[in-house]
Amino acid sequence: MPNDTAERVVEALNRADLDDYLDAMPSPAQLAQHFDCPPERALVAAIERTRENAPGLLDAWRTAGVRMSLSTFDLTHAEHLALAPGDTHRDCLVKAPVQVVTVGVTLEMQREGRTEKVIEAWPFWRFSDDPAWYQARF
């Protein structure tokens, strides 16, 4: 379920566990197998940038002592897409079936003795050849 993946992402960020954080994201091979994207401004490019920037993000969070918790995972207003070959998604042509669920999440971020609530829309993908859900914050 996507909520398990969301918890995994939050836990990886809190532990500054780069491998687990990256494993929760779609791999370049999965993206290439399921999407044909133009360079730049597309889904694949955004996820690649997120993967490239992950070490710096985790280092900055560790240095700043940021802690995060997932306080709300709202599937009631989630957007569900069942993409088929030939469909387009975020400027990419779909080459193989993909499920996409975009969920509203509320995060509580603690840093420097303050707690801040942050509301974000997180996309999750499940690919036709893999039962796992993947997520990338970008």
Q: What is the CATH number of the domain that holds 55?
A: 3.10.450
pTM listed for this prediction: 0.85
Tens of pLDDT, residue by residue over 56-100, are 989 998 888 899 999 988 877 889 999 999 999 888 899 999 999
Q: Could you tell me which residues come within 8 angstroms of residue 81 by beta carbon, excluding any fewer than 6 positions away?
A: 89, 99, 100, 101
- Residue 20's domain comprises 2-135
Tens of pLDDT, residue by residue over 30-55, are 988 999 988 766 778 888 889 999 99
How many structural domains is the chain composed of? 1
